[in-house]
A = this chain, B = another copy of it.
Amino acid sequence: MAQEERQKKLVEEITPMEADFAQWYTDVVKKAELVEYTSVKGCMVIRPYGYAIWENIQRILDGMFKETGHENVCMPMFIPESLLQKEKDHVAGFAPEVAWVTHGGSEPLEERLCVRPTSETLFCEHYAHIIQSHRDLPKLYNQWVSVVRWEKTTRPFLRTREFLWQEGHTIHATAQEAQEETERMLDVYARFCEESLAMPVVRGRKTESDKFAGAVATYAIEALMHDGKALQAGTSHYFGDGFAKAFGIQYTSRENKLTYPYQTSWGVTTRLIGAIIMTHGDDSGLVLPPAVAPVQVMIIPIAAHKAGVMEMARSVAARLSGICRVKADDSGNSPGWKFAQTEMQGVPLRLELGPKDLEAKQCVIVRRDTREKVTVPLTELETVVPALLKAVHDGLYRRALENRERHTYRCRELEEIPQALAEKGDGFVYAMWCGDEACEDEVKEKTGVGSRCIPAEQEELAETCVCCGKPAKHMVCWAKAY
């Protein structure tokens, strides 16, 4: 009875998405055991299941970084106040939201240290030490660490005071090389989101008002969540030689001239886990793209006490372990409870195996995304399982793309924007812009959607700005955002 009650609780306690999206999100991260709150306000525990998703993200991305020639390093977590202040735009952007260490043991520090909100200043100091000649360039560095930004309002994965991320920091002899790097890494992020997270993204450049503090240009990938809000899933910054000048980084060129090098930085965070939840999740919980699912196939024995069932479940798990991440649930819980938990945790495929299946030498596989059931002869598992995992990925991607297209509105007049949002729900608004910050502000004020990016793939929707009617410079992607 206690078990049945727990099972009922598991299913009932998740708020339907339509009723309250924010509460649905909170329920899912909690019930799927991704995170737990702590007494440190705005910080969270990432639990084993949540952390295993992050480990898969890390492993795949780290491989992509290394393939493109990058090396991992580790910088200190502290930045002396004077070092943070060396680049004026940068400090203006970050100082208001950093945590300050003022004491070591019982003694006050001579100079206070901030806990890194990002590490440009530390990388610059290091580059100034190690770069002398053109032979020392480029340096293509990355680190996997956590950073701290003292946010007022926080939500698990989406906005926390401490979050995990990677930050790439590269330095090049020429502006062109650095610009190419900025775009290359945006492309790596976009490919990763599409190929591993089944999440389509819009690639684009941020407007001036939305740039990273200290950057010449910021590029981003934007994804559309279930509730029609945009989520910035990754950014890549081109710095020109601004940081090099502020930090006195110079190298001797082939022509024997002291020259300032050019820099970039780029990052993605544990926010990606929030993006996965809000792109693919449903009212039964999480739905995980196979590439990052900690368990891709959960084997659930039916009537596990009957002769041979548990043995067969284990033997199928052993067979499949070479081709996918598979687990046989041998806990004492009921199959119903196991089904609910497997659904809640978004395991892509559920493999059911009972006494009758044993006799018929088959099993039943149920897709988490569509709930489609197929009966599969045990001899064919090695071909069917990978094919089904691919089908889940493709299905998730296709539905996410269709959803985005259904909620992308091309507007030529300002009035069309609130109309479209009211009629069809929140989403991406594509509309022309003159490039003037005043118009950017006015659009936001009048319609509620802000500029997300200037998409790389431009469309000529009109010749004039949707706001002021002056000649348009760009098509902008507008949306409400996380």
Contact = CB atoms under 8 A, between A and B. Distances in A.
A371 interface: no
Given A74-B46, A113-B40, A103 B96 contact: no
Contacts of A72: 48, 51-52, 55
Given A73-B47, A103-B99, A150-B104, A80 B113 contact: no
Interface string A139-155: 00100011010100000
A102 interface: yes
A122 interface: yes
A450 to B, nearest CB: 23
A113 B141 CA distance: 31
A102 B104 contact: no
Nearest to A98: B105
Interface in A118-164: 122, 125-126, 129-130, 141, 145-146, 148, 150, 161-162, 164
A106 B94 CA distance: 11
A277 interface: no
Interface in A23-73: 36, 38-40, 43-48, 51-52, 54-55, 71-73
A105 B115 contact: no
Contact of A73 (B46, B130, B145, B150): B46
A83 interface: yes
Interface string A193-228: 000000000000000000000000000000000000
Nearest to A43: B76
A75 interface: yes
Contacts of A78: 40, 43, 99, 162
Contacts of A175: none
Given A38-B122, A47-B73, A99 B96 contact: no
A71 B44 contact: no
A73 B54 CA distance: 10
A302 interface: no
A138 to B, nearest CB: 13
Interface of A: 36, 38-40, 43-48, 51-52, 54-55, 71-80, 83, 95-106, 113, 115, 122, 125-126, 129-130, 141, 145-146, 148, 150, 161-162, 164
